[in-house]
Amino acid sequence: MFRFILSLLMLLSFLSISACAVQQQELSNDVSASLSTHYPQVKYQQINPTPVAGIYEVVVENGEIIYFAPASGHMFFGELWTADARNLTQDSKNKRMTSMLKVFPLDLAVKIGDGPNQVIEVTDPDCPFCRHGSDFFAGRDDVTRYVFLFPLDKLHPQAAAKARYILAAEDQELAYEEVFSGKYDSQPIPDVNDNSLLDQHRKIAHKIGITGTPQFWINGQHISGFNPQQFEKLLHK
C-alpha cells in the first residue's frame, strides 16, 4: 500500500511539473508572438520572465538585454534592480556569458602561467582597465591565464598593431608583458602584417557578443570589467 501511494505521489508530481512546463512554453510563445507583432525587426535569442509581473527579459542577437511588456507593446531599455541593490540585468548577462565558456578555443589563446585557477581574459592592449587586470594577475603563481585580444579600434587606434605584435611573437607571453607594461606607448611598434590570429580572436569575441573590455572568466564564472574584490572571491586559495 505504501509503495502504491508513493508511486501515485510521484506520478502526480511529474504531471504537475509537465503541466507547468507546458504552461510556461505557451506563455513564452504568446510573448514571442506579441514581440514579433509589435517589433518585427527585433531579432532575439531568448525570452525570459522577470520578477516584475507582465515584464519580460528579451536577449537580442548581440547579447544585450531589453525589456518588453506584451500586454501593451511597450519596450524598455536599461537595467532592472531589486530593492536590496541587486542588478538583475547584470546577473542575467553574467549567467549568459558564463554559459559561453565552451566557445573559447584555448589553444588559440596567449597562455600565461601554470596555476590551478583558470582565468580567461578578453582584453584590449590600450584599455586602462585591461591593464589594471593584467597588473592584478601578473606574477601570481596560482593562475593559468588564457588571453584573447579584442582591440577596440575606434577608442584605441594603436591597439590592433600591438595585438598583432603579441600574437605573431615567438614568445607571446614576453610580448604581452612588453605591450601591457606600456613599452610601446611611446616608441614604434614592431611591424607585423599577419592578421590571421587576431582575426580569429575578433571572431570569437563577436560570436560571444562582447562589445567592451575587459571581460574575465575565473574558474568558469564571468565578471565584466576590472573588479579585484570579485576576482579574489572566485580564486581558489
Q: Residues 175, 229: one domain?
A: yes
Which residues are registered as beta bridge partners of 120? 146, 217
In this structure, the answer to whether residues 120 and 209 fall within a common structural domain is yes
> In terms of domains, do 72 and 180 share one?
no
Co-location of 51 and 160 in the same domain: no
* C-alpha cell read off for 112: 600565461
On the question of a cis peptide bond just before residue 214, with omega within 30 degrees of 0, the verdict is: yes
Q: What is the CATH number of the domain that holds 133?
A: 3.40.30.10
Mean pLDDT of the chain, nearest integer = 87
Q: Could you tell me the sign of the dihedral formed by the alpha carbons of 68, 73, 78, 81, in that order?
A: negative
- Tell whether 62 and 138 lie within a shared domain: no
Same structural domain for residues 185 and 126? Answer: yes
CB 225 within 8 A of CB 129: yes
Same domain, 146 and 40: no
| b/e map 8-22, b = 16+ CB within 10 Å | eeeeeeeeeeeeeee
**For residue 63, what are the domain limits?**
19-78
C-alpha cell at 118: 583558470
199 located within any domain: yes
Q: Give the number of domains in the chain.
A: 2
pLDDT tens digit at each of 237 positions of the chain: 555 444 444 444 443 444 334 334 445 678 999 999 999 998 888 899 999 999 999 988 777 899 999 999 999 999 999 999 999 998 888 888 888 888 899 999 999 999 999 999 999 999 999 999 999 999 899 999 999 999 999 999 999 999 999 999 999 999 999 999 999 999 999 888 787 999 999 999 998 889 899 999 999 999 999 999 999 999 986
- pLDDT of res. 1: 52
Cell numbers representing residue 56 in the block: 519580460
For residues 217 and 101, what is the distance between their CA atoms, to the nearest angstrom? 8
**pLDDT at residue 85 in the model:** 92
Buried-state track 85-115, b at ≥16 Cβ within 10 A, e below 16: eeebbeebbbebbeebeeebeeeebbebbeb
DSSP 158-186: THHHHHHHHHH-SSHHHHHHHHHTTTTSS
Q: pTM of this prediction?
A: 0.74
